[in-house]
Amino acid sequence: MSERLKTTTQELVIDGASCASCVNKIERALKELPNVDNAEMNFALRLVTVTGQTSSDHLINTIEAIGYQAKVVTDTSDGDLLDEKEIAEQKHYKKLIMQMSAGLGLGIPLMIYSLLGGPMTVDTTLERGIWLFVGLLCAAVMFFAGKHFYIGAYKSFINHSANMDTLIALGTGTAWLYSMIVVIFPLALPEMARHVYFEATAMIIGLINLGLALEVKARGRTSEAIKRLIGLQAKTARVVREHNGSKQEIDIAIEQVLLNDIVRIRPGEKIPVDGTVIEGHSSVDESMLTGEPMPVEKSIGDNIVAGTLNKSGSLLFNATRVGKDTALAQIINMVKRAQNSKPPIGRLADIISAYFVPAIMIIAIISALAWLNFGPNPAIAYAVISATTVLIIACPCALGLATPMSVMVGVGKAAEAGVLIRNGEAMQTASKITTMILDKTGTITEGMPKVTDIIIVNDAYSEDYILKLAASLEANSEHPLAQAIVDSAKAQDIELSAVTEFRTIAGLGVEAKYQQQSLAFGNQKLMLTNNVALNNFATQAQHLAEEAKTPMFFTIDNKLAAIIAVSDPIKEDSIAAINRLKGNGIRVVMLTGDNKATAKAVAKKVGISEYFAEVLPEHKSQKVAELQAQGEIVGMTGDGINDAPALALANVGFAIGTGTDVAIESADITLMRGSLHGLADAIAISKATLTNIKQNLFGAFIYNAAGVPFAAGVLYPFFGLLLSPVIAGAAMAFSSLTVVSNANRLRFFKPQEY
Amino acid sequence: MVIINIAGLGLILLVIWWFWLYKPEGVVVSSKDSITILVKDGVYQPANIKVAAGKSVEITIYRQDDSGCAANIIFPDFDINEELPLRQNKTITLPPIVSGEYSFHCPMMMYKGRLIVE
């Protein structure tokens, strides 16, 4: 293949050009390249347009060599591609409908004539003349409406392969050729066999085109989910750029947004690229990506994601991920890939379809031979009909469509619910999970400990005062629970004070001095060490622990002042979601690094009977292996970062996200929203999809397994029944339609939430 | 009748040989490490590609067939699944591959091709 490049116009976005002189520098460098005709740069847009015969890589290298960054503006965004695809599909559909009309236009009148008992014979010269004319008309229909079948059949034939086209071409060709022989050389055939089948040829071509047209329509609907995701992408962005020495806000195409651009987003606008808020405050609707209906508050320092909707306020943000790197682009990419991947269950159909068409050809020949050898007169006519019908009724399409159609819909459906499935295999395995391991922190619970109870022992102190002292003390500590106390104080706008002589007593707590008072904060062991009398507050503390809370004791001058309980609250809907899992017959196991008492309490609260406490992070994968050794198909749900090895080892790893901040690459299935309902949804959708695939495969197999013998005429010896080739044509057209429609039924699947 | 039966049997053998037993030769790719495949009329042209082992290969695919099956190309062994826009070039870069025979096809296996790596 020659490497010559055509003269093209390419657009490159330049990064790092900060002054007008850069423009000259870049333009000159590009123009100096051989084969570059012109290079022009639009400074405001940071866009350089190059005409010439040079590859984009070469251009980028040149620009990088003089100290800037550049990237190609891809002129076809996903949205454009999709539009193009739709237009192409629409055109294809119209063409098929035209071809169908031609086929049926000739076929239906002929068929009505034959059904009304009109003679299809060639006894007189007039009849021969009329049928010759009809035969030629039929040939014209074959050419206009069925050309693609014959060309396809021929092309695959010379490539030693065979497909649906081969069967249709052979079937209709046989019927037409036989009829033409009847018309032109009637004497070559026994009198009883002189019967024409032009109506079959025309009808079959019409019906199969109809089937294909309906399939195009139904197929379009299966990609609704991806259309919706692509539709989330904004077309333009308003960026703040320096122009003629002053900062200006300009609207530019989304492809031209650069990393670290400052982007303005107004109320009601779609967020164009991923970024970090640097100014303003607003609530953002992320439901389109996470399935989480509540808008999320965003202010300085928060991350926002492309495709989500800014509701109330105006924001200024720094673009951190643009183009193909945004979370939305990655999601679209992943859904697309997954939609086109095939679960192992589909491989059987693939193997069969590889041998299918030649096998059907052989069956057709055998059937014809059987009729010729054992059939009643006119044997030759029966042989031709049965061979034609066998060829036409066999539908490799239904087999081939069975799996991909359902996967398309299922993966899309999951994406709508905020569940990203990596591929078909993950989906199939997820549908068979017998044991689900849930990590406690961040999966069942929020992952962010909060102060739940403050019990004041000495009424001389107010709650605010206690919290102020405790937080001032804990502000010095690095213990994870300490943060909860500090946060709690901050949330109530309590100002912290400085403490002196702070020290940590490992495993017990902390101590410090505040204005001559000595403060201590820690667990029950610390109280014992310090000989603090707990009286009946020990029982209260015990109660708190049983409620999955961690009680801590606060003393002032070695006297118990308060008990502060901290807990990592269980997510609101964890219990319901775990019940859904159990309702599906899945064994649910909890894993945590926490102490046994808390683990037990949490497990009890959410209704999990099996749990492993005090499991070190590195031992989590061991537990997965242990359960797998028991013959379980294990799903593991965790945050995708700390639990990565366990997720990888599990049969299916589920990474649970908080909002859109997810490591998409880390798991087989990614749950965009934090709720465990996403997990139950993922399994429910996987199951529904697999059931759908099985229905499709069963339908397609049964259809072929039953249709082909009927067509060959196995019923004839018993009932005198032989299928007409026209019925076979209709059946073939509608078999693939049935499969596509059944797959479309999945679109209405709703995971049950309770 | 005997003749007809023998002819039929011969036809069956012909089908078996032509579609199943015949193994076509691969098309040798030039040293440029790139090749163009045309997707048209129900087949990949060429459908049998031979490339050198251990080298990255660029395959440019041009789809001229508007049937839905042709809209994607899958190289299952390399986890590649690409959409083919109608009447546009699409370039797929295959990673360096160890010797062997690999298949590529459309999602429905209507289009089939072989990649022979030597």
Q: What is the helix (H) or strand (E) element at residue A279, kind and residue range?
A: strand A274-280
CA A241/CA A28 separation, integer angstroms: 24
Residues of chain A with pLDDT under 50: 1-5, 75
Q: What per-residue confidence (pLDDT) applies to A4?
A: 43
Q: How far apart are CA A276 and CA A471, in angstroms?
A: 30
Nearest alpha carbon to residue B106 among A397, A394, A732, A703: A397
In this predicted structure, what is the pLDDT of residue A6?
58
Residues 2-41 of chain B with CB under 8 A from chain A are 4-5, 8-9, 11-12, 15-16, 18-20, 22, 24, 30, 32, 34-36, 40-41
Residue among A85, A163, A227 with most chain B CBs within 10 A, to mutate: A163
Torsion of CA A450, A453, A459, A463, to 10 degrees: 30
**Chain B residues with CB-CB distance to A340 below 8 A:** 72, 74, 81, 83, 107
Q: Residue B93 falls within a domain, yes or no?
A: yes
Secondary structure of residue A687 in the 3-state scheme: helix
Among B32, B67, B74, beta carbon nearest to A340? B74
Q: Beta-strand (E) ranges in A550-709?
A: 550-556, 559-567, 587-591, 610-612, 634-638, 652-656, 669-671
CB contact under 8 A, B1 and A396: no
- Residue B2 belongs to a domain: no
Among this protein's residues, is A439 annotated catalytic? yes
Q: How far is B43 from chain A (nearest CA, A)?
A: 6
Structural domains counted in chain B: 1
Q: How far B118 CA sits from the closest chain A CA (Å)?
A: 20
Bond from prior residue into A378 cis (ω within 30 degrees of 0): yes
Residues B20-58 have pLDDT tens digits of 887 666 565 554 567 888 888 778 888 888 888 888 888
Q: How many CB atoms lie within 10 A of CB A424?
A: 28
Chain A window 339-358: which residues touch B at a Cβ cutoff of 8 Å?
A: 340-342, 350, 353-355, 357-358
A397 touches chain B (CB under 8 A): yes
Partner-chain contact A340 B72, CB within 8 Å = yes
SS (H, E, C) chain B: CHHHHHHHHHHHHHHHHHHHHCCCCCEECCCCCEEEEEEECCEEECCEEEECCCCCEEEEEEECCCCHHHHEEEEHHHCEEEECCECCEEEEEECCCCCEEEEEECCCCCCEEEEEEC
Place of tokens 């303003």: A280
Write the CA distances from A492 to A148, A474, A549, integer angstroms: 74, 16, 21
Domain contains B8? no
Is residue B62 assigned to a domain?
yes
| Residue of B44, B7, B49 lying closest to B24 (CA atoms) | B49
For chain B, say whether A668 makes contact (Cβ under 8 Å): no
- Chain B residues in contact with A366 (beta carbon < 8 A): 8, 12
pLDDT value at residue A474: 85
Could you say which of A164, A216, A361 has the minimum Cβ distance to residue B15? A361
Asked if A160 lies within 8 A of B42 by C-beta distance, the reply is no
Query: Token digits for A414?
Result: 């999951």
Cα A324–Cα A666–Cα A628 angle in degrees, nearest 5? 155
Residue A391 CA to residue A384 CA, distance in Å, equals: 11
Write the CATH number for B59.
2.60.40.420
DSSP string, A144-191: HHHHHHHHHHHHHHHTT---HHHHHHHHHHHHHHHHHHHHH-GGGS-G
Nearest partner of B12 among A197, A363, A68, judged by Cα: A363
B62 close contact with A: CB closer than 8 A? no
How far apart CA A178 and CA A198 sit, in angstroms, is 9
Residues from chain B contacting residue A153 (CB–CB below 8 Å): 42
Nearest-by-Cβ selection for B24 from A85, A156, A160: A160
**Rg (alpha carbons) of chain B, rounded to whole number:** 17
Contact between chains at B68 and A153 (C-beta distance less than 8 A): no
Range of the domain at B77: 25-117
Q: Is B54 on the interface with A (CB under 8 A)?
A: no
d(C-alpha A683, C-alpha A430), whole Å: 6
Cα separations in angstroms, A120 against A85, A186, B99: 45, 13, 60
Summarize pLDDT for A512-542 with one digit per residue, the tens.
888 888 888 888 888 888 888 888 888 888 8
Q: How would you write A448-459 as a 3-class SS string?
A: CCEEEEEEECCC
Among A261, A439, A643, A681, the one annotated catalytic: A439
Q: Is residue B100 part of a domain?
A: yes
Pick from A161, A341, A350: which is nearest to B19 by CB?
A161
Q: How confident is the model at residue B93 (pLDDT cuts 50, 70, 90)?
A: confident
pLDDT digits (tens, 9 = 90+) for A382-408: 899 899 999 988 877 788 788 888 998
* Cβ neighbours of A215 in B, within 8 Å: 68
CB A357 within 8 A of CB A167: yes
Check residue A734 and report its DSSP letter: H
pLDDT for A157 equals: 85
* B16 falls within a domain: no
How distant is the Cα of B39 from the closest Cα of chain A, in angstroms?
11
Q: What residues of chain A, 123 to 182, have a C-beta less than 8 Å from chain B?
A: 148, 151-157, 159-165
**How many distinct helices (H) and strands (E) make up chain A?**
24, 26
CA A84, CA A79: separation in Å to the nearest integer?
9
Give the pLDDT confidence score for residue B21 in this predicted structure. Answer: 80
Any domain includes B78: yes
Chain B environment of A92 (Cβ under 8 Å): 66-68
What is the edge-to-edge ordering of all strands in the sheet holding A69-72?
A36-42, A47-52, A8-15, A69-72
Cβ–Cβ gap B66/A84 under 8 Å: no
pLDDT for position A3: 39
Of A398, A374, A397, give the one whose Cα is nearest residue A386. Answer: A374
Nearest CA in chain A to B32: A1
Contact yes or no for A11/A49 (Cβ under 8 A): yes
The answer to whether the beta carbons of residues A524 and A541 sit under 8 Å apart is yes
* Interchain contact, B41 vs A148, CB within 8 Å: yes
Residue B72 within a domain: yes
Pairs of CB atoms within 8 A across A/B: 112
